[in-house]
Amino acid sequence: MRVLFICVLASASAADWKSKPFPEWSDDTVLRVLTDSPWSHPRTVSFTWREREQRPITYKDIPGADHGVKTGALGPLGGIGAPVSSLKDKSDIIVRWCGALPVRHATAVYKHREAKGAGSINERIASGEQDYVVELFGLPAELAHQSAGVLENVIRDKAFLRMKNGTAINASKVEVTIFGLTLTAKIHFPRSYVITAKDGEVEIIADAKVFSLSEKFKLGPMVYLGYLEL
């Protein structure tokens, strides 16, 4: 499934999730929902690879690094002896409302086709989330050089949803999953404030010290099958 998410964004065709009902979506529609749609925004983030006002991260900070080696292949968590110069300055990621029903539908379609139609497609639809959940997909795994748990805490402490009326919803939990050279951070926000289409837009703000992002989502286009899906 990772291959689908990180592939080059396909040029959008005229067909979309409104043209045909689930699960009759084309492969292009599935790709668009997951990578470039009202629920999924592609964007580029930049990294400083240093804690602000702190010393830069060096190869010595990477767990298991050989202090006598200053070069080497980059591994899943930074690699042995990976120097700062080998770290990316930028990454293309996807900011996605992974609990939204159209995203869960698109994921189910992809998995069903990957399995060549075996089983029931409805069984592949993930359950809805109790929280609002926004995932940052495609971040470099080096961000978790101290551990996934440390990164989870760093993001959780400085991530929130902001409404146009000034209401802020602070993150309650972050789940970091590492896939080889990349990772996904799922940020949970409690539904203490009920977001409606009348709010106009919602902004996700996150800060992980070495990178920060601010991404706005228009709520009107996020209505699916008659309901606002977040």
Residue 36 falls inside a structural domain: yes
Question: Which residue's entry shows tokens 């930028």?
Answer: 90
Q: Give pLDDT, residue 88.
A: 74
Q: Give pLDDT, residue 148.
A: 92
Residue 61 falls inside a structural domain: no
Residue 195 has pLDDT above 50, yes or no: yes
Residue 146 falls inside a structural domain: yes
The 8-class DSSP code of residue 60 comes to: G
Q: What is each CA distance from 137 to 55, 186, 187, 227, in whole angstroms? A: 27, 8, 11, 25
- Alpha-helical (H) ranges within the chain are 2-6, 27-35, 101-114, 148-157
- What is the span of the domain harbouring residue 141? 2-47+88-228
Residue 155 falls inside a structural domain: yes
Cα torsion angle, 112, 23, 202, 130, sign: negative
pLDDT band at 116 (very low <50, low <70, confident <90, very high): confident
Beta-bridge partner residues of 97: 134
Residue 54 falls inside a structural domain: no
The 8-class DSSP code of residue 188 comes to: E
pTM for the model: 0.79
Residue 136 falls inside a structural domain: yes
Residue 58 falls inside a structural domain: no
Q: For the residues 33-45, what does the mean pLDDT come to?
A: 94
- Give how many domains the chain has, as a whole number: 1
Indicate the average pLDDT of the chain. Answer: 80
10 Å Cβ neighbour count for 61?
16
Residue 224 has pLDDT above 50, yes or no: yes
Instruction: Report pLDDT digits (tens) over 40-93.
Output: 999 999 988 765 445 454 434 433 333 333 333 322 222 222 334 467 788 999
Rounded Cα–Cα distance for residues 48 and 40 (Å): 25
Residue 222 falls inside a structural domain: yes
